[in-house]
Amino acid sequence: MIEFRNVSFSYGDKPVLENLSFKIPTGEARVIMGQSGSGKSTILRLILGLAKPDEGDILIEDTNICGVRPRELREIRKRIGMVFQDGALFDSMTVGENIGYYLLEHSKMRFDDIGEKVHEMLGFVGLSEDIIDQLPDELSGGMQRRVAIGRALLSTDPKIMLYDEPTTGLDPSMTSTILSLINRLTELKKVTSIIVTHQIADAFEVANKFIVIDSGKSIFDGDITQLRQADDSRIVEFLKPFRDSIANVQKNEFI
């Protein structure tokens, strides 16, 4: 379970989030939508403890991460997998080293055993074993994103997965592959997923509940039916280009 209670955050003098509250039960997928610069990615940074809120509380499985010590925060992070925007792969390491990074750093597993797990993970994210010795720069955007998902999964067997713009800049076929991978993870591993995106069409494929952020404030928190009926001018304006996509979505398509 992830809960934000009246969270405010600012970068210097610039407010990014204002009095934000929401709750995501365990095992659910939630999409956070909003225009660029609305504070979506900051929410993920706060959950991961990469930044601290100015006010409010953030609860992860009933632990308020705002008041914990760095060591406890590291333990909490072990339950969280993060797929950064553009992958954030370590560009001086091979694909294999990227995927096995956490185990190489933190576990006492033998190198061969780590290699075996890396091979398994490559298969899980639908990548060929041939790319194991390639550098991230040699891969396409979609492959990099899948390596990033594999790296996050192999790190800690996470109970929470955070995706920051997982499909931005990808072609439709690769987008579909990434979205089905996210769905597979949520279903098979029963992880709580938060997907941050401004790609509305993609949002409807991975969750049935949505939060819409505008200028750091939550202006919507509900399902597709409520979203269709929303009469807030900011939501109407934001969703205008995607009216057809919303109309076509069947409520029971979602997880």
Partner 1 sequence: MKPVQFLIEWFRHFAYESQRLFIFSARMVASLYGRPFYVNETFEQMYLIGVGSLFLVILTGISAGQGMALQFSNELADFGSKNYLGRIMAIAIIRELGPVLTGVMVAARVASGITAEIGSMKSSKQLDAMVAFGIDPIKKLAAPRLIALIVMVPVLTIISDVIAIVGGWMIAIFISHITSLTYWTAVIDRLNFGNLFIGIAKPFVFAFVIGFISCYKGFTAEGGTKGVGRATTESVVIASITILIANFIVTKVVFSFIRGYF
Smallest distance, partner 1 to C-beta of residue 62, A: 21
Site for partner 1 in 194-233 (CB under 8 A): none
Instruction: Indicate the burial class of 47 (C-beta count within 10 angstroms; 0-12, 13-18, 19 or more).
Output: buried
Q: Between 91 and 253, whose beta carbon lies closer to partner 1?
A: 91
Question: Is residue 94 a contact point for partner 1 (CB under 8 A)?
Answer: no
Report the residue number, 182 or 239, with the smaller CB distance to partner 1: 182
Cβ proximity to partner 1, 144 vs 177, nearer residue: 144
Instruction: Return the residue of 106, 190, 243, 251 that touches partner 1, per CB under 8 A.
Output: 106
Question: 3-state SS of 123-182?
Answer: HHCCCCHHHHHCCHHHCCHHHHHHHHHHHHHHHHCCCEEEEECCCCCCCHHHHHHHHHHH
Residues 124-163 that bind partner 1 (CB under 8 A): 155
List the x/- string, 61-90, binding to partner 1 by CB under 8 A.
-------------x--xx-x-x-xxx-xxx
What string marks each residue from 30 to 59 as x (binds partner 1 by CB under 8 A) or -?
Answer: ---------------x--x-x---------
Q: How far is the CB of 198 from partner 1 (least distance, A)?
A: 18
The residue among 12 and 172 lying less far from partner 1, judged by its C-beta, is 12
Q: Does 101 bind partner 1 (CB under 8 A)?
A: yes
Binding site for partner 1 (CB under 8 A): 45, 48, 50, 74, 77-78, 80, 82, 84-86, 88-91, 101-102, 105-106, 155
